[in-house]
Amino acid sequence: MTSRARMVRGGGRRASLASAAAVAVLVLWQLLAVAAPASAHAVLVSSDPQDGSRVTSAPTRVTFTFDEAVQLPTDGTAAVSDKGGAAGRGAAMLGPGGHEVIVPLRADLPDGAYTVSYRVVSADGHIVTGAIRFGVNADPTVAPDIAPATVDPLQVIAGVAQGAVYLGVSIAGGTVLALLVLWPRTRQGRTAATLRWSGWVLVACGTLVRLFIAGPAAAGSGWPGIVRLDGFATTLHEAGGVAGLVRVALLLALVPWMTRPRRGARGQRALAAALTVGVLVTIAVDGHAVGASDWWLAVPATVVHLAAMSMWIGGLCALVTLVLPTISGAAPDLTSMRRWSRVAFSSVAALIISGEYLAWRQIDPVESITATAYGVTLLVKLAVVAVALVLAVISHRRLIRRAAPDGSIERRRAKRLVGIEAAATIVVVIVTTLLVSLPPARTTYGPETTVTAPVGTASAVITIDPTHTGPQRISVRLESASGADVEPKAVSGTIGTDSVSGVSLTFTRHSSGGWTSAAIAPIAGTWTLQLTVDLGDAGTYATSARYQVWG
């Protein structure tokens, strides 16, 4: 009877573990399904009315169309006249599919110039802002009144919270794994428990902070928005919010094993490992990994990247706090350090290989690595990783070379060298946190470019800024063969590609000379600018110029 009861309990326990694992797999698969449709960074592909256009009748609404579904925070749009009066009517709304933002306008707008701004959240969690201007029976000569970029304290806190998640995963998951694989006798005790729970708390707190401040950060409502829970319901329906909720659930599921790891049977340890991988997946889908069609490969690569980072940093934490303080001079010391060297080498190799692929996805063209904040930050990360690797090689060689004949290691020297290496890896975590908060280089690279085109005996000097997909500003200035300015009576034109028919441009003259038009390039590739220049008595000329749009 007792044997049968044990069999029943064993079968029930295995069934419970299998059910829990199945639920975890289903939840994570659903999470991937939610995140999969995302693209990298929302780009405005068109607006109605067009930016810089002059219309003869007052529109009843302004429609912004983006290349991906976006989220619209509370008070995410504003419409004002050139006199500062409100031109909007009611709240803005999302169109079907979430690709359009519709801003209702007051009926019978008087003649004048108007500016309509937007603030939306793209699928990768980055905030995208912009504005268009148009005129009703008037030239839209008033430039959009967009406040200069400032550092949002909530965005800073969100970055710190993300860093806490990375550090917590490394301390908790990496340390536990390193102890189980390399130093199983030291996994018990107060210090090991402190490391486990410290990492758990960092991940949990970082996740909750990001959940609660995502809405106010997107809406720009500041600290009061946190108290009002601005956008919280919207956050819970986004990929990042779903990832955060699943992560919290997985962390709670890990609590029993965290409390009593010694009593965990093999099946329970396997389930704990699966839940930990699930936590890594939730981190992976809440970022750049889901920013393209190859998300199915980028998400596993990011999980490998996070796991390798956790093993490296967690192993170093275990060495500094648990292993080295207990070195007694016994012969197994050198063997243990050599075994750690092999594990660390494997972790770093996985870190570099997965990191190369993830960086390749975000760097396009190669020039963007030195011309964008993302690229420069990536170079800093690579430099810090290189320094950490050099320190690791030096420390391990010195330890092995200076080991005593019986294989023992001097504790003070070992702790100092490993501590320096651990400090370098913490810097890697900090730089990584900054890196994931930046939009990818391929979505922001677009340096100002200048091209020329012949206009009779003169030349048109054309400046396009920026040259990445989305809104652009095209400026045209004419000069003679001798370099003197030539003033045309009128300038008109279109832009287009082989797949995009010519889109009309509305050029307005600057008081300081030159003509400027707003434009939108929805796709990357080679674009052609067709210009018609009226030189008065000298005649009217048609010319063209080609330029590259990145995206």
| Residue 367, pLDDT score | 93
Write the Ramachandran bin of 412: left for phi over 0, alpha for psi from -120 to 50, otherwise beta.
alpha
User: How high is the mean pLDDT of the chain?
Assistant: 83
Contacts of 64 (CB under 8 A, 6+ apart): 44, 46, 47, 100, 101, 103, 118, 132
**Start-end of H helices in 220-331:** 222-228, 232-235, 239-259, 266-284, 295-318
Decide: 457 and 381 in contact? Cβ < 8 Å. Answer: no
Q: Are 92 and 188 part of one and the same domain?
A: no
Specify the higher pLDDT residue, 124 or 509.
509
Contacts of 436 (CB under 8 A, 6+ apart): 162, 287, 288
Tell me the per-residue pLDDT of 398-423, one tens digit each, with 9 for 90 and over.
666 655 555 555 566 667 777 778 88
Is 142 part of any domain?
Answer: no
User: Mean pLDDT, to the nearest integer, of 83-103?
Assistant: 91
Q: Are 187 and 282 part of one and the same domain?
A: yes
Q: Are 465 and 495 part of one and the same domain?
A: yes
Q: Are 425 and 450 part of one and the same domain?
A: no
Q: In this model, does residue 500 exceed pLDDT 90?
A: no
Nearest to 65 by CA among 527, 469, 362: 469
| Residue 289, pLDDT score | 78
Question: How many other CB atoms are there within 10 angstroms of residue 238's CB atom?
Answer: 22
CATH number of the domain where residue 86 is located: 2.60.40.1220
| Residue 63, pLDDT score | 96
> Of 220, 255, 286, which residue constitutes the final position of a domain?
286
| Residue 128, pLDDT score | 87
Is 122 part of any domain?
Answer: yes
Half-sphere exposure of 505 (CA within 13 A, CB side): 30
């319901």: which residue's tokens?
A: 233
| Burial class of residue 476, CB neighbours in 10 A (0-12, 13-18, 19+) | buried
Half-sphere exposure of 240 (CA within 13 A, CB side): 29
Q: Are 469 and 436 part of one and the same domain?
A: no
Least confident window among 237-241, 299-303, 540-544: 237-241
Residues in the chain: 551
d(CA 472, CA 505) in angstroms, rounded, equals 11
β-bridge partners, 355 = none
Is 141 part of any domain?
Answer: no
**Residue 358 per-residue DSSP state:** H
User: Mean pLDDT, to the nearest integer, of 524-545?
Assistant: 94
| Residue 321, pLDDT score | 83
> Of 384, 410, 444, which residue constitutes the final position of a domain?
444
Q: Are 306 and 406 part of one and the same domain?
A: yes
Specify the higher pLDDT residue, 300 or 140.
300
Decide: 402 and 311 in contact? Cβ < 8 Å. Answer: no
User: Mean pLDDT, to the nearest integer, of 149-165?
Assistant: 84
Cα of 336 vs its chain's centroid, Å: 39
Q: Are 106 and 163 part of one and the same domain?
A: no
Q: In this model, does residue 23 exceed pLDDT 50?
A: no
Decide: 517 and 492 in contact? Cβ < 8 Å. Answer: no
Contacts 24+ apart (CB under 8 A), 242-245: 242/31, 242/34, 242/35, 243/31, 243/35, 243/282, 243/283, 243/285, 243/286, 244/207, 244/208, 244/210, 244/211, 244/282, 244/286, 245/211
Nearest to 500 by CA among 449, 543, 551, 541: 551
The proportion of the chain whose per-residue pLDDT surpasses 90, expressed as a percent, equals 36
Residue 64: pLDDT band (50, 70, 90) is very high
Residue 336: pLDDT band (50, 70, 90) is confident
d(CA 467, CA 520) in angstroms, rounded, equals 10
Is 144 part of any domain?
Answer: no
Q: Are 90 and 195 part of one and the same domain?
A: no
Q: Are 440 and 341 part of one and the same domain?
A: yes
Residue 192: pLDDT band (50, 70, 90) is confident
Residue 447: pLDDT band (50, 70, 90) is very high
Tell me the per-residue pLDDT of 365-394, one tens digit each, with 9 for 90 and over.
999 999 999 999 999 999 998 888 888 887
**Start-end of H helices in 319-371:** 332-362, 368-371
User: Mean pLDDT, to the nearest integer, of 73-88?
Assistant: 87
Is 268 part of any domain?
Answer: yes
Is 143 part of any domain?
Answer: no
Say if strands 127-136 and 53-55 run parallel, antiparallel, or are unpaired: parallel
Over 66-100, what HEC string results? Answer: ECCCCECCCCCEEEEECCCCECECCCCEECHHHCE
Q: Are 6 and 86 part of one and the same domain?
A: no
């600290």: which residue's tokens?
A: 223
**Start-end of H helices in 170-189:** 175-181
Q: In this model, does residue 59 exceed pLDDT 80?
A: yes
| Residue 10, pLDDT score | 46
**Distance between terminal CA atoms of the chain?**
70
Residue 450: pLDDT band (50, 70, 90) is very high
Q: In this model, does residue 462 exceed pLDDT 80?
A: yes
d(CA 110, CA 108) in angstroms, rounded, equals 6
Q: In this model, does residue 80 exceed pLDDT 80?
A: yes
Which domain, by its residues, includes 369?
A: 292-444
User: Mean pLDDT, to the nearest integer, of 265-279?
Assistant: 81
Verify cis geometry, omega within 30 degrees of 0, for the bond prior to 466. Answer: yes
Q: Are 252 and 104 part of one and the same domain?
A: no
CATH number of the domain where residue 500 is located: 2.60.40.1930
> Of 444, 476, 503, which residue constitutes the final position of a domain?
444
| Residue 423, pLDDT score | 84
Q: In this model, does residue 29 exceed pLDDT 60?
A: no
Contacts of 303 (CB under 8 A, 6+ apart): 277, 280, 281, 284
Q: What separation in angstroms does the CA of 313 have from each of 165, 424, 486?
A: 14, 10, 64
Contacts of 374 (CB under 8 A, 6+ apart): 362, 363, 368, 435, 438, 439, 440, 441, 444
Q: Are 435 and 469 part of one and the same domain?
A: no
Is 146 part of any domain?
Answer: no
Alpha-carbon Rg for the chain in angstroms: 29
Q: In this model, does residue 37 exceed pLDDT 60?
A: no
Overall domain count for the chain: 4
Nearest to 169 by CA among 284, 333, 291, 9: 284
Q: In this model, does residue 25 exceed pLDDT 60?
A: no
Nearest to 253 by CA among 19, 31, 8: 19
